Structure 1
Amino acid sequence: MRRVAPVLAFLLLAALSACTSEPKEAGSTTLTVLLDHDVTAAQKSVVEQRLRAMPSIEGVAFETRDQAYEKMRKDSPVLPADLGPGHLSESFRATVTDASVAEAVDLVMGMVDGVGAVVLMIADVDPLPSRIGVIVRLEPTATGEQRAAVEEALRALPHAESVEFEDRDAAYERLRKQCQGKGDLATKLNSQVTRASLRFQLPLNGKGRFMPPEIERLDGVEAVRLVPVAML
């Protein structure tokens, strides 16, 4: 399912880059829960129930493969010739209004049967925020050498600010504390699904500057999340 997430990321980046209004801060995130291609009706129902029960979730909506494809065609005039509805996934989309729990919701929903992947991104807003947060999650098997190479690449980005490393245990403890008082989210969080990551800020300055897509293809990188700065 990882092959679908970069497509969604590219489209969101294109949409954000097209905005030219005066920047401002933003705190909401968009959560897309991509379903397995062989998801059953029962699993789909459970996924929706779990998502609606999550704290700070609003606007849950189901999207078919055809709807996803038509949206892609509308948002991006240039698509791969061999990309069709069958390459995409059905999904549930929602808004997470509380940045402090968004990352935990992402991880917990990813453990539900029938879910192929979860994509968490800063909400598509106009005007743009003045800066965004970037979370580069590392694979569980990432070596020290791979981590160092990723960190070097991030620090070399012209506008990257405050690049910091967080190991998996520290991530789990941080998220667990942030989830206290947020229903049973803290108890559903599993330390095995948290990831070490490199986290930093990227100023936009109203010009839609983003990190190059090559970062996600570096060895040892599992995923890249573009999020509100408050999530860092």
Structure 2
Amino acid sequence: MGDLRGKTALITGSSRGIGRGIAQRLAADGALVAVHYGSNDAAAKETLENIRAAGGRAFALGVPLGVPGDAEALFAAFDAELAAYGGDSGLDILVNNAAISLPGHIGEVTPEEFDRTIAVNTKAPLFIVQQALHRMRNGGRIINISSAVTTTAFPSTLAYALSKGAMDTLTLTLAKDLGERDITVNTIAPGFVETEMNAALRATPEARAALAGLSAFNRLGHPGDIADVAAFLASDDSRWITGQRIDATGGSML
């Protein structure tokens, strides 16, 4: 376990899936964790209960993303909850994890679906970072969750792939821009991980086996696999790494 005592972390979309795994791991390492979610109160409550049962500290932020004013609303809630929790207004770790994936080939995706995907997956993280930097202490960490779809073609998720490709570029740009503050900015790119987002793609034993077979380890990823990478990038051990895209696909498509 790393040592994140005295640090405050905000993980978007952390009521379930990869985000939940990261929230639980960073809390286990000692961080005070802001668990952000859009609307699933029950899932957020379960994440908080998991963290507190393990001796960690966390509070929840229920704020929809992809709507006007989302970043401002998120940090208004963050500031209020952090003050009520007894912490100062500082932030040390930001993980941009929240995302949606709407299926659609080039001939199927609609303008409305595209706009919604970009609003949640790309625009929201950009302005969340903008707001976060007013609060982030020097030496902070920004971790963007991307996807294998930015380097391997998945035509059935075109809008999602475009939105994540933009996040890879955002990582590079921010890393250069924020280096003078010793803030590192890195991307984690998972492959297929067992989450609700891709449950339909592994609905049968045959489909599950096919997805598992993409990895060199012949299995699907688990949220903990990604959370462990995030924990490293959030720690002081990663201080000399920035602007990087970390492939966390389990050796998929080698």
TM-score (norm 2): 0.28
Higher relative contact order (CA 8 A, sep 6+): 1
**Greater helix share, structure number:** 2
TM-score (norm 1): 0.30
**Greater strand share, structure number:** 1
